[in-house]
Amino acid sequence: MQKIKRMPSPKTKQVVLGVCGSIAAYKAGDIIRRLQDAHCEVTVIMTREAERFITPLTLSSLSGRAVHSDMFDKDSWRMAHIELARSAELVLIAPATANVIGKLANGVSDDLLTTFVITTRAPIFIAPAMNDEMYANRIVKDNCAKLKKYGFKFIEPVKGKLACGTTGIGHLAEVEDIVGVVAKW
């Protein structure tokens, strides 16, 4: 009888997905599933604003893990931002808002996501999503350039229909393109 060789299962990558308060937050569920298909274990950190667009329960159900959003939850003695920062092999913020991009570019860490990002040593990918006029704003452009100079990687938004009813550059990149970039890293 011939012995069957088992192929080693691919190593899973520990990804932290940051979800910000954008209408594009609904795509986070698809991002989670596709990252899992690419052999990633996904832990989600949501901003409070993101919770107005999609629930933590939805993202927890899809990721199979607790969703984090509060700096001072019932287990705050564990310092979630430190524990998450140590375990992350890659960070993806999708969708990333002008607000979070601005905070990160200027060292503001006033919530779990921004505190986590300034703590981690993992590579950080940012996929912006916002109104085209916001994305074209000089301040936002300067903040993006500053983060790029610090080594943040950007998955640029595309031209598409925006929540305000117009079409322009600011639409979140396609989910398969975002996951494709992250999976290759």
Q: Is the pLDDT of residue 65 over 60?
A: yes
Q: Where are the domains of the chain?
A: 13-184
* Helix spans in 64-174 (H): 80-87, 98-105, 112-119, 132-136, 138-149
Tell me the catalytic residues.
164
pTM equals: 0.91
Residue keyed to tokens 């901003």: 47
**Residue 3: which pLDDT band, with cuts at 50, 70 and 90?**
low
Could you report how far apart the first and last alpha carbons of the chain are, in Å? 41
More confident site: 12 or 176: 176
Contacts of 166 (CB under 8 A, 6+ apart): 131, 132
**Per-residue pLDDT tens over the stretch 92-151:** 999 999 999 999 999 999 999 999 999 999 999 999 999 999 999 999 999 999 999 999
Segment 22-28 shows an average pLDDT of 97
- Cα torsion at 136, 175, 58, 162 (round to 10°)? 40
**Token pair recorded at residue 142:** 């300067």
SS3 call for 89: coil
Segment 39-63 shows an average pLDDT of 96
H-run or E-run covering 96: strand 90-96
Just give the CATH number of 13-184: 3.40.50.1950
More confident site: 75 or 17: 17
Return d(Cα 158, Cα 115) in angstroms, integer. 28
In this prediction, residue 74 carries a pLDDT of 61
Q: DSSP letters along 6-35, please?
A: PPPPPPPEEEEEEE-SSGGGGGHHHHHHHH
